[in-house]
């Protein structure tokens, strides 16, 4: 066959694949949040989706798919068609779950290689919060009580090995204490349990408790940050108090591996435009969460390093049923 004719046939065969990527998006995009409403991922996803809807001129619809500490929703996206119409708003727990699967000896829900990072939006350290009427007025009070009655002080999380569980396990280890872990399906339900008196403490993203803090319903004892949080200048870091525990609950956007590069580029461009959007910035300011945007190359480097650190932490935690 004539080489030019062969080349023409090859290009023609590719056109049905390339055309949709160039025209993207042509219909609604689903942004999966693998947690219930009210948590850090959801709080970030909703104003982001609203901004991206205007930028991409197609509806970006947030869909909460909670379960298995975020694993269920992440698994759904890992298996989705890689066409850019199903994307994921994840927390740092995306890196934790595959390692937890190894520790527990169970079939992996997904592998990190099944996702392509697009952008990071926030990277707040978690904070240690108790009710305002709690007897624990400082970290020292909590540690003393936990040492006096090991395994009896309940704290809530978004699920085993999740981004609320891992920092508390880190704290338990460096403080030499053992508290009682009570897993929920997400940060929202855990905060409700804290306010209702079912649990005594949580490690959570600042955005999930700022409203309750301002309303005088909770007290923040410390943060897992490297430095004091700008919205909580009077709250010490655990490191300041002598506990070497640091943890960041970042939010990032991902697509299934195999998504065309032209689609990834459009999602990156839309993400960058969204973080500059006044509505998105206002929503983040309302919950006093600074935007810490990273485009794909920088986010990928950050994610690789963070995933390795968190895998080591999960190995130290060991098996949790």
Residue 10: per-residue pLDDT = 47
Tokens 């592998």 sit on residue: 111
Produce one character per residue of 60-69: b if its CB has 16 or more CB atoms within 10 Å, e if not.
Answer: bebebbbbbb
Which residue in 231, 230, 225, 205 sits closest to 38, CA to CA?
205
Asked whether the beta carbons of 161 and 70 are under 8 A apart, the reply is no
Rg (CA), the chain: 21
Residue 2: per-residue pLDDT = 55
Based on the fold, state whether residues 178 and 202 are members of the same structural domain. yes
Residue 288: per-residue pLDDT = 86
Asked whether the beta carbons of 243 and 174 are under 8 A apart, the reply is yes
Based on the fold, state whether residues 267 and 288 are members of the same structural domain. yes
Based on the fold, state whether residues 84 and 144 are members of the same structural domain. no
Interval 7-38: pLDDT, tens? 444 444 444 444 457 799 999 999 999 999 98
Sign of CA dihedral 199, 247, 186, 307: negative
Asked whether the beta carbons of 41 and 289 are under 8 A apart, the reply is no
Q: How far apart are CA 313 and CA 321, in angstroms?
A: 17
Q: What is the CATH number of the domain that holds 135?
A: 3.40.190.10
Identify whether 211 is part of a domain.
yes
Identify whether 257 is part of a domain.
yes
Identify whether 243 is part of a domain.
no
Does residue 208 have a cis peptide bond before it, meaning omega lies within 30 degrees of 0?
Answer: no
Based on the fold, state whether residues 111 and 136 are members of the same structural domain. no
Based on the fold, state whether residues 117 and 132 are members of the same structural domain. no
For residue 293, what are the domain limits?
Answer: 3-123+250-317
Identify whether 11 is part of a domain.
yes
- Helix (H, G, I), strand (E, B), or coil: what is residue 254? strand
Structure tokens at 14: 């590719």
Asked whether the beta carbons of 115 and 258 are under 8 A apart, the reply is no
Q: What is the CATH number of the domain that holds 78?
A: 3.40.190.150
Number of neighbouring beta carbons within 10 Å of residue 241: 15
Based on the fold, state whether residues 196 and 292 are members of the same structural domain. no
Residue 132: per-residue pLDDT = 97
Structure tokens at 22: 């160039």
Residue 99: per-residue pLDDT = 95
Number of neighbouring beta carbons within 10 Å of residue 195: 16
Identify whether 228 is part of a domain.
no
Identify whether 244 is part of a domain.
no
Domain count across the chain: 2
Domain end point (choices 188, 223, 258) = 223
The CB-based long-range contact list for 228-235 (8 Å cut-off, 24+ gap) reads 229/124, 229/125, 229/127, 230/288, 230/290, 231/206, 231/288, 231/289, 232/127, 232/206, 235/127
Q: How far apart are CA 7 and CA 242, in angstroms?
A: 67
Based on the fold, state whether residues 22 and 103 are members of the same structural domain. yes
Identify whether 111 is part of a domain.
yes
For the chain, residues with pLDDT lower than 50 are 3-4, 6-19
45 to each of 6, 71, 120, 150, 228, how far by Cα in Å? Answer: 46, 17, 12, 38, 25
Residue 320: per-residue pLDDT = 82
Based on the fold, state whether residues 104 and 171 are members of the same structural domain. no
Say what the pTM is.
Answer: 0.83
Based on the fold, state whether residues 177 and 286 are members of the same structural domain. no
Domain end point (choices 223, 258, 276) = 223
Identify whether 231 is part of a domain.
no
* Phi, psi dihedrals of residue 233, rounded to the nearest 5°: -65, -20
Based on the fold, state whether residues 90 and 194 are members of the same structural domain. no
Structure tokens at 304: 């690789």
Any idea what the Cα angle at residue 169 is, between residues 165 and 170, rounded to 5°?
120
Based on the fold, state whether residues 190 and 274 are members of the same structural domain. no
Contacts of 279 (CB under 8 A, 6+ apart): 47, 50, 51
Based on the fold, state whether residues 119 and 255 are members of the same structural domain. yes
């Amino acid at each position: 066959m004539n080489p030019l004719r062969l080349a023409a046939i090859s290009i023609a065969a590719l056109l049905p694949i390339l055309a949709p990527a160039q025209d993207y998006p042509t219909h609604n995009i689903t942004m999966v949040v693998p947690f219930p409403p009210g948590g850090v991922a959801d709080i970030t996803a909703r104003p982001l989706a609203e901004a991206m809807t205007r930028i991409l001129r197609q509806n970006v619809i947030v869909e909460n798919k909670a379960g298995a500490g975020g694993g269920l929703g992440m698994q759904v996206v890992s298996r989705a068609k890689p066409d850019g119409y199903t994307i994921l708003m994840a927390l740092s727990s995306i890196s934790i779950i595959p390692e937890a699967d190894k520790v527990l000896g169970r079939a992996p829900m997904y592998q990190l290689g099944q996702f392509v990072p697009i952008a990071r939006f926030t990277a707040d350290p978690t904070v240690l919060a108790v009710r305002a009427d709690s007897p624990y007025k400082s970290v020292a009070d909590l540690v003393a009580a936990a040492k006096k009655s090991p395994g009896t002080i309940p704290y809530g999380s978004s699920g085993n090995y999740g981004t609320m569980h891992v920092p508390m396990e880190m704290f338990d280890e460096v403080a030499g204490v053992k508290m009682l872990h009570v897993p929920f399906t997400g940060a929202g339900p855990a905060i409700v349990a804290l306010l209702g008196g079912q649990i005594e403490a949580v490690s959570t993203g600042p955005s999930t408790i700022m409203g309750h803090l301002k309303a005088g319903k909770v007290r923040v004892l410390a943060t897992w940050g490297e430095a004091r949080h700008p919205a909580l200048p009077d709250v010490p870091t655990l490191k300041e108090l002598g506990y070497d525990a640091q943890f960041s609950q970042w939010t990032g956007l991902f697509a299934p591996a195999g998504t065309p590069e032209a689609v990834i580029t459009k999602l990156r461009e839309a993400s960058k435009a969204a973080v500059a959007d006044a509505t998105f910035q206002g929503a983040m300011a309302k919950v006093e969460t600074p935007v810490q945007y990273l485009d794909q190359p920088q986010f990928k480097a950050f994610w690789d390093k963070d995933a390795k650190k968190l895998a080591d932490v999960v190995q130290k935690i060991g098996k949790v049923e």
